[in-house]
Amino acid sequence: MKLRSLVLGIFAGFLTIIAFAEEVNTSQLYWRNQRFYLDNEKTTEPYTGYAVAYYKNGKMAEKKQYLNGVLNGSYESWYATGTKRQEVQYLQGALSGSYTVWYPDGNKMMVMNFKFGEKNGPCEIWYKDGKMWMKTNFKNDLMNGIFEIFNKDGKLNFKVDIYGYHIKTVYSASGKPMTPTNYSLYMTTIQRWHNKIVSLQSNVARTVR
């Protein structure tokens, strides 16, 4: 009985490898009934495998992985020069794991983390020259913990301790706790950065659809 289970398990794994070995152009996939299918209308099984797209110069533009018609596994994209642009993981159609974005010159732009489609964990953004621009942390899609902004010279510009929409502590440029006269100014800055992060997140969502 154990031998039969082992053989069946190996066979199932072999079929999965074969399925993911398949590779089609993204233009061949169509969205139907909340899943992706190959362009053949007679196809009844959602697509499982890789989908790729290329620039006119022949370089790969993107490569994404599907399981039963939804994104599941790695998604990668490149600039027309061949430089990596984005890399992210999906689990059953939802962003899950680390999401990394690069500038066209190859320097890292941003790293954020997801769990079941929500921002969870560290989030960092860099200037084009590689210096830290912003760093914070998320929990259940809300900022949670220290939020910092840095000037191009590397000096601290802005620092608060925030939980959701509540500022717990505000810090001076030297990093010492302080009592501000107007919390709304800080919330405006935080909201502007949050919108920027959401915009970058939406960019990958638009790309892979």
Query: What predicted TM-score, i.e. pTM, was given to this entire model?
Result: 0.80
Which residue is listed with tokens 């196809």? 43
- Contact by Cβ (8 Å): 134, 122: no
Closest CA to 130 of 150, 148, 146, 147: 150
User: Residue 178's CB: how many other CB atoms inside 10 A?
Assistant: 11
Closest CA to 146 of 171, 114, 127, 126: 171
- Contact by Cβ (8 Å): 162, 168: yes
DSSP assignment string, 8-39: HHHHHHHHHHHHHH-EEEGGGEEEETTEEEES
Parallel, antiparallel, or unpaired: how do β-strands 23-25 and 49-54 relate? parallel
Identify the structural domains of the chain with CATH numbers, from first to last. 23-64 (no CATH), 83-209 (2.20.110)
Alpha-carbon span 145 to 159, nearest angstrom: 10
Residue 43, pLDDT score = 78
Which residue is listed with tokens 């009844």? 44
Give pLDDT tens digits along the chain (209 positions).
544 444 434 444 434 444 445 789 999 999 988 899 987 667 789 999 999 999 999 999 999 999 999 999 999 999 999 999 999 999 999 999 999 999 999 999 999 999 998 999 999 999 999 999 999 999 999 999 999 999 999 999 999 999 887 888 888 888 888 887 677 778 888 888 888 888 877 766 555 55
